[in-house]
Amino acid sequence: MYKARREKLAAMLPENAMLFVLSGKNVHSVGDEMYPFAVDRNFYYLTGIDRSDMMYMLVKKDGEVQDMLVIERFDEMMAKWVGAKMLPAEATEISGIGQIVMDDEKWCTIHRMMARQFDHEANLNVYADLTKQDIDQVTPAYAFINEFTSKYPHLTVNNAAPMLTKLRIIKADAEVEKISKAISVTNKAILNMMDHSEAGIGENVLEAHFDFVLKCNKCKRAFPTIVGSGKNGTVLHYGENNQIAEDNTLALCDLGAAYENYSADITRTFPVNGKFTERQKQIYNIVLEANEMIISAVKPGLTLRGLNNMVIEFYEKKLAEIGLLENGKKVSDYYWHGVSHMLGLETHDVQLSNYELEPGNVFTVEPGLYLEEEGIGIRIEDDVLVTEDGCINLSKEIIKTVEDIEAYMAK
C-alpha cells in the first residue's frame, strides 16, 4: 500500500526531481519532559512509520525512481533510558523501502546523489513538504530546507504539499476501514459517557469516561475532547472541561478516537439528566433535521461551501418560524461555522479550495445552533463517505434522535 502511494507521487513529479518529506521531531515541554509526539501525516502516509527524526527521500531521473529512508543510528545507552530507535530491518519491513541511510550520513548521501545523478545542474527540481500552520512556524522540514539551500543556493525548492493533498483527499478502502474502527470505538465511548451521566456531574468526569474506553481499545484521542455543558456548549472549541453539568442542561460532546492515526470526529449533544426540556427538544430537532438533510444531499460534484449554504437557507426558514430572527437577528448570530471539513489522518484533514466532491472523500456533517442567552449549545456531527451516487454515513450506529437518546439513558 505504501509503495503504491509513493509510485503515484513519483508519477506526479517532473523529471530530474528530488523530494524530501520529514517525520517531525519530539519537542521539549518542561525540563527534560517531552510533548507527546505526533508524526507528520504526509510522512506517515508514504511510509507507515510513526517515529520522529526520520526522512523520506526520492530521486527521479530519466524515468527511473529511487527512494530511501533516513533514520537515526541505534544508541545502546539511549535505548536503556527511552527505548530503542527503529532498526533498518524494521523500517524496511513496515515501509517497503529497502535503502536505509543513517542520519549522520544523510548529507554525504545527498551530495553523492546530486553529483552522480544531476551534476549539480540548476534544472534539478527539488521538492519538500512545506506545510505549516503559522507564518512564523519553523517546522523540521523548513529547518532542513534552510540547511539544504545554504549548501546549494542555486537551487529552488518547490512545495510538494499540493500533490500529497490530491492523493490523500481520496480515501482507499483500507483507510475507510481504519476511520470506521475509530468511529466504532468512539460510539462505545459516547455510550459510556451517557451510562454515567447525571445532574451535577463534572465535565471532566464525563471526559474521563470517554478516555477510559479509548485506552481499553488501544486508541488515542483524535483531538482534545470538548465537553461543554450549558452555556459552555455555545463555545465552539471550549476545552477547559472543568465545570459542573447542572440539572436540565445539555452536554455538547465533540470528540473522537484515533486508530492507527486515522481520526473519527463525532459530536453528540445529550441532556445530562437523561431528559430533554421542551425548548431543548425544539432546537435539537431543527439541528437534527439539518444534519439529516445534508447527509441525504451529499453526492459527487457538490462543494462543502454549497452544503453549508444549504444549511443557512434551511435555518433562515426554521429559525424564523420559532421567532429567533426577529429584531434584526440573523442566522449568523446562532450558527457561524461551516457544516463540513475533510477527515482522515488529520481531524481537519487536507482540503483543496473550491473542491468538488468525489467518490472516496470522507468528511464531517456537523450543523449546530448556539443560543448563549438560553444556555443551549447543540451540534450533531456524523462522518460520511462519498459514493458514486450519494454517501454512506459511517457513524449511523451512533444514536442521535431525541427518542433514542432518552430511551438509552432511561436504562
- In tens, the pLDDT along 386-402 reads 999 999 999 999 999 99
| 39, 71: one domain | yes
Q: Angle at Cα 162 formed by Cα 25 and Cα 265, nearest 5°? A: 65
Given this model, what pLDDT does residue 27 score? 87
CATH number of the domain enclosing 143: 3.40.350.10
DSSP conformational letter for 342: B
CATH number of the domain enclosing 250: 3.90.230.10
Report whether pLDDT(52) > 70. yes
- In tens, the pLDDT along 243-302 reads 999 999 999 999 999 999 999 999 999 999 999 999 999 999 999 999 999 999 999 999
Report whether pLDDT(305) > 80. yes
Given this model, what pLDDT does residue 80 score? 67
Taking residues 87-113, report their average pLDDT.
94
DSSP 10-60: HHHSPSSEEEEEE-----B-STT-BPPP---HHHHHHH----SS-EEEEEE
Report whether pLDDT(121) > 70. no
Going by C-alpha positions, the residue among 357, 316, 360 that lies closest to residue 340 is 357
- In tens, the pLDDT along 168-218 reads 999 999 999 999 999 999 999 999 999 999 999 999 999 999 999 999 999
Taking residues 353-373, report their average pLDDT.
97
Report whether pLDDT(120) > 60. no
Residue where the block lists cell 436540565: 248
| 151, 217: one domain | no
| 110, 181: one domain | no
Binned at pLDDT 50, 70 and 90, residue 28 comes out as: confident
| 219, 353: one domain | yes
| 191, 251: one domain | yes
| 120, 32: one domain | yes
Report whether pLDDT(75) > 90. no
Last residue of a domain, one of 168, 190, 210: 168
Given this model, what pLDDT does residue 115 score? 80
CA distance 222 to 137: 22
What is the share, in percent, of the chain residues with pLDDT greater than 90? 86
CA distance 105 to 303: 47
Provide the number of structural domains found in the chain: 2
Output the nine-digit C-alpha cell for 379: 451540534
> Where are the alpha helices (H) located in 114-243, listed in sequence order?
140-151, 161-168, 173-196, 203-216
* Helices 2-12, 161-168: crossing angle, 10 deg rounding: 130
| Residues forming beta bridges with residue 385, ordered by sequence position | 362, 392
Given this model, what pLDDT does residue 83 score? 67
| 146, 184: one domain | no
- Work out the mean pLDDT of the chain and round it to a whole number: 94
| 315, 403: one domain | yes
Given this model, what pLDDT does residue 276 score? 98
Last residue of a domain, one of 140, 168, 196: 168
Binned at pLDDT 50, 70 and 90, residue 81 comes out as: low
| 191, 324: one domain | yes
Taking residues 369-391, report their average pLDDT.
98
Given this model, what pLDDT does residue 119 score? 63
Given this model, what pLDDT does residue 193 score? 98
Report whether pLDDT(369) > 70. yes
Last residue of a domain, one of 168, 196, 219: 168
Report whether pLDDT(82) > 90. no
Report whether pLDDT(132) > 90. no
| 161, 190: one domain | no
Paired sense of beta strands 157-159 and 64-71, if any: unpaired
Given this model, what pLDDT does residue 114 score? 83
Given this model, what pLDDT does residue 86 score? 87
| 33, 80: one domain | yes
Structural domain containing residue 340: 173-410
| 322, 392: one domain | yes
